[in-house]
């Protein structure tokens, strides 16, 4: 078993630059989180983008898809901004034979009470436990990206009511 | 879907009393962790024991088993001390029709860099994703309690080498 | 002894809004910090502004000065954005009979590794220990606002070299 | 200006060993705290003891006193267990020409909500601001060790009521 983590930026990796009171996407946080959690499975973190997900283009999503297709690993976690996580997940439709789990966080991993650590715990177990397919791991649940959305008002993911 | 969390004490719930420089099992941490993670599934936390797992007796384990059997929920997470987590898991063998996941942490949840938050993320997804049975969620992996152990020297869980 | 804390916004009180990925000034953090530190002196926190310090106007600074002059307390701490902290301090010149200490932080108090808690510890002791006057407490030191500056490049306060 | 920090152990440096579920004194935390606070004064941390303060002997206190007397620095911070901090402070009576500030914490520095960071902020400003003498910096205040005590029941320091 070997798990691959692709990082693309998003809130989870946001850091704070005081100089102009801005935030920017910093280095990937996922590796530090997994180290502190003392995980014992084999994994590799690879930064492929450093984007706010609102700025992600079709070309960016193509980069993500090709990286996943090229990876020999069957268990993939992608850290991603929440605003267009669903859109990227749906672009991955049809990638076969891999369990692909997208996660991220509503608050930067650098925050005291961020949801990032919990969400990464959710994502790594989902990647190891679920059959091949594309999944979202947010708010302590697994969502099918074809039938879920980010509720911006409530700042959470949810299934689309039929 | 409704998830039940039984807490039994252990390191995850340890707090620090300065008065005599001791630690003791405090109130359950799991609810606070899930609140901060902003989980959106329905769950209930119930404290059934406040034990260091080294002090757990057969009678204590019977309390745990009966609580699980009496619960209407099919998805169960148990927070437990790590030293005898495997033993308690094996006492639950034969409880049918439920996905039961034991977790805990090597460092108290009150610590800055505790593994508690990550492990609870792992456990709640395991409880929702795996078929009925008894599981350990530690170190970012799912273990079968019949074929795994805590490696005390290395301070981690691992599969028993055949 | 009674200490008054006026909060004006700035990085120390920045929170994170995911919707548009912006930082905004949130509720004052100082009270929570002092509670967790279990301070035993009498104090009161009053929010008089919620400004990024780059946006502070002369009218805002007049609000700060008048609030201090109106306060019966002799020991005053002001939490303030770092970019124009010196400027506000210098507007307070001539307020007599009070020990006034401005502090803030380079990283929001909500961050795991923020300097906010340390800086508030510095400021409350400065307010209690120093003779009447206007002071900056940043980077573990006390600065005279007439002869110091924020070094934006190095992201720290320092005395102006003569 | 150069500040010397002597560490002697105590709750502030307690870490958690899961193996036997015990807290023990670990490596000094003060240096890491000052690094994260980005202090810009010159300082040196030296570990002279690793004791729970309840176990401190007269010989240990003599070690502390001799270390302070031998140090060229005029500004001294000592991190120390809280239970006998007052006693050690009083053993230092008569050390002339130095501002000596003892501090510590009620909760280990490794805890999320520890008072350690705040207390160290208090102590370094006290060491820089107060005239030569022996002081306790705890609970956001400066105490004279000759007229104060730890109130074990309330878990805080306070002046002795006359």
pTM: 0.93
Bridge partners (DSSP) of residue C22 are C17
Rounded to an integer, what distance in angstroms lies between the CA atom of residue A89 and that of residue C80? 42
- The partner residues of C4 in beta bridges, in order of sequence, read C44, C76
- Using one digit for the tens of pLDDT, what is the confidence trace for D10-27? 999 988 765 455 567 888
Angstrom CA distances, D20 to A74, B52, B81, D107, stand at 38, 10, 11, 20
- The answer to whether the Cβ–Cβ distance between B23 and D19 falls below 8 Å is no
Give contacts of A126 with chain B, Cβ < 8 Å. Answer: 125, 129
Contact yes or no for D155 and B18 at CB 8 A: yes
* Whole-number Cα distances in Å, C71 to A76, C2, C57, C80: 59, 11, 22, 18
Taking CB atoms and an 8 Å limit, are C41 and D130 in contact across chains?
Answer: no
Q: Which of C17, C18, C104 would best serve as a mutation to test chain A binding (most A beta carbons within 10 A)?
A: C18
User: Which chains would you list as touching C if contact means 3+ CB atom pairs under 8 Å?
Assistant: A, D
The predicted pLDDT at position C19 comes to: 47
Contacts of B135 (CB under 8 A, 6+ apart): B89, B99, B100, B101, B102, B126, B142, B143, B144, B145
Question: What is the rounded distance in angstroms from the CA atom of residue A121 to the CA atom of residue A131?
Answer: 18
Could you tell me the pLDDT band of residue A1, with boundaries at 50, 70 and 90?
A: low
Distance from the first to the final alpha carbon of chain A: 38
Q: Where are the beta strands (DSSP E) in chain B?
A: 2-9, 14-17, 22-25, 42-51, 75-79, 99-103, 133-138, 141-143, 148-151, 156-159
User: Does the interface ipTM go beyond 0.90?
Assistant: yes
Place of tokens 């501002």: D99
Q: CA of A150 to nearest chain C CA: how many angstroms apart?
A: 10
Could you tell me where the DSSP H helices lie in B23-115?
30-36, 58-70, 85-91
Using the predicted structure, report yes or no on whether residue C18 has a pLDDT greater than 60: no
Tell if the CB–CB gap between D158 and C113 is shorter than 8 Å: no
Q: How far apart are CA B150 and CA A44, in angstroms?
A: 25
Task: Count CB atoms within 10 A of the CB of residue B74.
Answer: 16
**Mean pLDDT, residues B151-156 taken together:** 90
Tokens 């987590």 belong to which residue?
B85
- Over the stretch D67-116, which tens digit does the pLDDT of each residue have? 999 999 999 999 999 999 999 999 999 999 999 999 999 999 999 899 99
Average of per-residue pLDDT values in chain D: 93
Task: From C117, A25, A145, select the one nearest D33 (Cα to Cα).
Answer: C117
């Amino acid at each position: 078993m070997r798990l691959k983590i692709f990082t693309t930026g998003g809130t989870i990796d946001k850091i704070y630059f005081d100089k102009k009171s801005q935030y920017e996407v910093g280095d990937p946080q996922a590796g530090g989180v997994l180290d502190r959690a003392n995980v014992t499975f084999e994994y590799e973190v690879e930064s492929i983008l450093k984007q706010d997900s609102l700025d992600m283009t079709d070309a960016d999503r193509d980069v993500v898809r090709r990286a996943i297709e090229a990876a020999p690993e069957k268990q993939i976690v992608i850290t991603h901004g929440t605003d267009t996580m669903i859109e990227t997940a749906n672009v991955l439709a049809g990638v076969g034979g891999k369990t692909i789990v997208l996660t991220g966080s509503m608050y930067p991993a650098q925050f005291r009470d961020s949801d990032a650590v919990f969400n990464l715990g959710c994502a790594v177990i989902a990647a190891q436990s679920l059959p091949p397919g594309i999944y979202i791991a947010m708010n302590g649940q697994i969502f099918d990206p074809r039938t879920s959305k980010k509720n911006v008002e409530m700042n959470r993911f949810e299934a689309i009511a039929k």
